[in-house]
Amino acid sequence: MSPHEDLPGALHGIKVIDLAGTVATGYCGKLFADHGADVLLVEPQEGCPTRRLPPFAPGVPAPEASGMHAYLSANKRSVVCPDRAALMALASGAALVIDDRPGRDRPLTLDELEHCSADGVLLSITWFGQTGPYRGYAGSDGVCQALTSQIDWLGEPDGPPVMPGGYQAQIIAGMTAFVASMGQILARELGNVSGPGHLDVSVLESNLCFSEIEALRGFAGKPTRERLGVNRFRATYPLGIYPCRDGWLGVTVLTPSQWNAFCELLGFDDLAAVERYQQSLERLQDADKLDARIQGRVARESAGDLAKRGQALRIPLTIVPTMDQLFDVDQFVERGAFADVTHPDLGALRLPTSPFRLHAMPAASGGEVARLGADTEAALQQAGCAL
């Protein structure tokens, strides 16, 4: 746990109930748990959906093998709820109850929540929100990334858009829901709203923030962004990944000063002297020719050395670590961005900590993941339910 584990977290005293157990609800609940809230993951007998997501630890039987579930569930309590009466009891005094249901088909209605917790908030994180023609549609991270045009401009000009994979869309939605929930809770504490409330968070709309450049281009009546190819983006060149002798270098060069510094780094004095190359769009016109020179030059260099020397010249450069190198990135090490989370079957896992730092109220660093239903008896007794 935190080196300041004698101090309560900033959200100590807040009770959160997650009735869905998806990546989006799980990440929202994780942020609450990281900062001291009492988060109950109410699971069905077979376990919540995140327990069925890879990566899986070899030799560990379901439902305890998921590394993704472990990442989302440290410092939460796992409860298998036997019936609706027990659910009502568990929700007593909850500041937040989270589900993933559109419309009225939800495990706990707003009226029922009012009986359990007069000032509680019902948070629904669904793919498309509670209203609109898509509200009952099936969704996925890829669907949301496609529908927000995030992938339309990624890939080769004559090929299909490139799908990134993973659960990024749900993670962003979980963060959005956390912010929205804190706003709703704060409004209640300030006396600006009373009684139970219903928060409607759409995974799709949470990801529109990644399409803001195209929205602004729309005001000018310009067409949708043209797909230029891998590591080619309008208005910024060079912007991409280049192979070095020991790894990959991420490069972003936009302003004239960055271009001149980049040329200094690579010894390209002749390119720095080209007047029209002071403009990024002009450089983009000659991208094939410039790429050949850049690639030929950096292929002989160390990515780490170029990144450090480039940053000293105020150029946005970085190494591109592999997943197994990620834990040793000095910035992450210094800030404690990873910590060990323990699971009785998986052992210790090195996982990301809270993405923000509050003043004088540190988040949990590491923690423990509960087996399915491990806290059922204690939670039901605390709620006054007969076992």
Sequence-separated (6 or more) residues with CB below 8 Å from residue 381: 387
80 domain residue, yes or no: yes
Asked whether 73 and 66 are in contact (CB, 8 A), the reply is no
Asked if the structure places residue 222 within a domain, the reply is no
Of 167, 169, 42, the C-alpha closest to 106 is 42
* C-alpha to C-alpha distance for 16 and 91, rounded to whole angstroms: 8
Q: What is the pLDDT of residues 236-276, one digit of tens each?
A: 899 999 999 999 999 999 999 999 999 999 999 999 999 99
At residue 8 the predicted structure's pLDDT band, cuts being 50, 70 and 90, is: confident
Whether 44 and 147 share a structural domain: yes
- pLDDT for residue 106 is more than 50: yes
**The pLDDT of residue 64:** 97
Residues 41 and 140 in one domain: yes
Residue 60 and residue 203 in one domain: yes
**Mean pLDDT across the stretch 158-183?**
94
The pLDDT tens digits for 284-333 are 999 999 999 999 999 999 999 999 999 999 999 999 999 999 999 999 99
**Domain assignment of residue 215, yes or no:** no
Mean pLDDT of 74-101: 94
Do 109 and 130 lie in one domain? The reply is: yes
Statement to judge: residues 284 and 348 lie in one domain: no
On whether both 301 and 372 belong to a single domain, the answer is: no
Quote the CA–CA distance of 205 and 266 in Å, as a whole number.
Answer: 42
Q: In the chain, which ranges are E strands?
A: 15-18, 38-43, 77-80, 96-99, 121-126, 197-202, 239-244, 247-252, 317-319, 338-343, 347-352, 367-368
Chosen domain end from 299, 322, 345: 322
Q: Please give the radius of gyration of the chain, using alpha carbons only, rounded to the nearest integer.
A: 25
Q: Does a structural domain hold residue 141? A: yes
Instruction: Give CA–CA dist 30/266, Å, rounded.
Output: 44
Which tokens belong to 163? 């799908």
**Together in a domain, 174 and 59:** yes
Ranges 186-190, 212-216, 219-223, 371-375, most confident: 371-375
The CATH code of the domain that includes 269 is 3.30.1540.10
Neighbour-count burial of 302, counting CB atoms closer than 10 A to its CB (0-12 exposed, 13-18 middle, 19+ buried): middle
Residues 161 and 307 grouped into a single domain: no
Query: Mean pLDDT, the chain, as a whole number?
Result: 91
Is the pLDDT confidence value at 226 over 80? no
Instruction: Tell me whether residue 175 is in a domain.
Output: yes
Q: Which of 322, 345, 364 is at the close of a domain?
A: 322
CATH at residue 78: 3.40.50.10540
Say what the pLDDT of residue 4 is: 45
- pLDDT beyond 60 at 342: yes
* Spatial CB neighbours of 95, under 8 Å, sequence gap ≥ 6: 14, 15, 16, 37, 117, 119, 120, 121, 185
- Domain with 274, as residue range(s), is 239-322
Q: What angle do CA 121, 105, 183 make, to 5 degrees?
A: 20
Note the pTM of the prediction, 2 decimals.
0.91
Do 202 and 244 lie in one domain? The reply is no
**Per-residue pLDDT band at 223 (split at 50, 70, 90):** low
- Residues 102 and 43 reside in one and the same domain: yes
pLDDT at 162: 86
Q: Are residues 140 and 17 in the same domain?
A: yes
- Say whether both 75 and 102 belong to one domain: yes
What pLDDT, on the 0 to 100 scale, is given for residue 387? 63
Exposed e or buried b for every residue in 38-66, given b needs 16+ CB within 10 A? bbbbbbeeebbbbbbbeebbeeeeebbbb
Asked whether residue 317 is domain-assigned, the answer is yes
Q: State the pLDDT at residue 156.
A: 87
Does residue 187 form part of some domain? yes
* φ/ψ (deg, to 5) at 179: -60, -45
Largest CA distance in the chain: 81
From 283, 299, 322, the end of a domain falls on: 322
The total number of structural domains that make up the chain: 2
Q: Please indicate, yes or no, if residue 387 is contained in any of the structural domains.
A: no
